[in-house]
Amino acid sequence: MSSRSEAEGSSELGGYEVLVAVCGGIAAYKVCQVVSTLVQRGAGVTVAMTESATRFVGAVTFGALSGRRVLTDLWAAEASYDPQHVRVTEALDALLIAPATYNVIGKIAGGIADDMVSTLVSAATGPVILAPAMNTRMWENPVLQQNVQKLREHGYRLIEPGEGWLACRTVGSGRMAEPDEILDVVVEQLKSAKPKNRGQ
């Protein structure tokens, strides 16, 4: 079986545009598989990263997997006169935030847009999916849970974290969902409507 032939012939998600926003957490390495699989299945994928996310996985890695420039810095985009950081949200069929950290969830819930990821989320009009990942005590923090509930009420979709071995070397809740589970949710969301940019 030729993986090259499969990739070249895959059009299951052809026409769909996905923005994957990667935040700072060790679970960022799992998102590489998500991006790669979406691309192999025909979706157009753009990756945006917070500065802290680049300390876990390099932007070059996501650039190679997506075949597109990775968005990391609002100021760099402006300096090059490239408005892509605004345009990329116009035709999105889904926006995935993974790992969705305590910090980014608080920013979104509070209406703060002070970096590439939070700014793109603030401008997105399509469905937003969050895959949280954090320490158990952070996940169970009542402030975080209040923010999560607020986002749910505004239509954000959350992929519940599971239990398991965490980066803090403890076992508990807060472990980001596995790539296959995240992919199932994203694909289901995409297929619930026709691609926005089909026929353009």
User: In order of start, what are the domains of the chain with their CATH numbers?
Assistant: 3-191 (3.40.50.1950)
Active site residues: 168
CA trace torsion 130, 22, 81, 126 (10° rounding) = -20
Mean pLDDT of 3-24: 78
The confidence band for 81, taking pLDDT boundaries of 50, 70 and 90, is very low
* Percentage of residues of the chain with pLDDT beyond 70: 82
Which residue bears the tokens 């939070």? 118
How does residue 1 score in pLDDT terms, banded at 50, 70 and 90? Answer: very low
Predicted confidence band of residue 88 (pLDDT cuts 50, 70, 90): confident
Strands, DSSP E only, in 23-93? 44-49
Its pTM stands at 0.87
Between 11 and 166, the more confident residue is: 11
Q: Which amino acid is at 12?
A: E
Distance of CA 75 to the CA centre of its chain: 21
